[in-house]
Amino acid sequence: QKEVEQNSGPLSVPEGAIASLNCTYSDRGSQSFFWYRQYSGKSPELIMFIYSNGDKEDGRFTAQLNKASQYVSLLIRDSQPSDSATYLCAVNSGNTPLVFGKGTRLSVIA
């Protein structure tokens, strides 16, 4: 059974701080890793994806992947109240459906 684990939160950070969201996965054959943001009552929207070990930056977001340790993280710099949402980690092992974690709820306090 392929699993993706996330801390459910809530993770509370003050406005302007760095939010760090973590995810571990069980399948060593996983090839691609995705972070989705989901606002309450809305559908998930893709914000980052990463395929290779190391860091990938996109604006205020940085995804970090460590395949040896089987974890992937998302850093949000200069957190804003509009970043308050649930963040879903998803993992793909080739041509199989994505396996999603249950999400971490982030609350950015103004």
Partner 1 sequence: DVKVTQSSRYLVKRTGEKVFLECVQDMDHENMFWYRQDPGLGLRLIYFSYDVKMKEKGDIPEGYSVSREKKERFSLILESASTNQTSMYLCASLSSGVQPQHFGDGTRLSIL
Q: Under 8 Å CB-to-CB from 101, ≥6 apart: which residues?
A: 4, 5, 6, 23, 88, 89, 90
Cβ 16 to partner 1, closest distance in Å? 29
Using CB under 8 A as the binding rule, whether residue 85 contacts partner 1 is answered as: no
- What is the tally of helices (H) and strands (E) in the chain? 0, 11
C-beta closer to partner 1: residue 79 or 84: 84
Q: Tokens standing for 99?
A: 């396996």
C-beta closer to partner 1: residue 79 or 89: 89
Residue 82 phi/psi, 5° resolution?
A: -70, -10
Asked if residue 100 lies in contact with residue 6, where contact means CB atoms within 8 angstroms, the answer is no
Piece of the chain touching partner 1 by CB under 8 A; list 10-18, 21-29, 75-83, 94-102: 94-102
Residue selected from 24, 73, 79, 92 as contacting partner 1 according to rule CB under 8 A? 92
Using CB under 8 A as the binding rule, whether residue 61 contacts partner 1 is answered as: no
In one-letter notation, the amino acid at residue 46 is: L
Residues 12-51 that bind partner 1 (CB under 8 A): 31-32, 34, 36, 41-46, 49, 51
> How many Cα atoms sit within 13 Å of 53 on the Cβ side?
5
* Nearest-angstrom CA–CA distance, 45 and 75: 17
C-beta closer to partner 1: residue 6 or 64: 6
Summarize as ranges the residues that interact with partner 1 (CB under 8 A): 31-32, 34, 36, 41-46, 49, 51, 88, 90, 92, 94-95, 97-98, 100-103
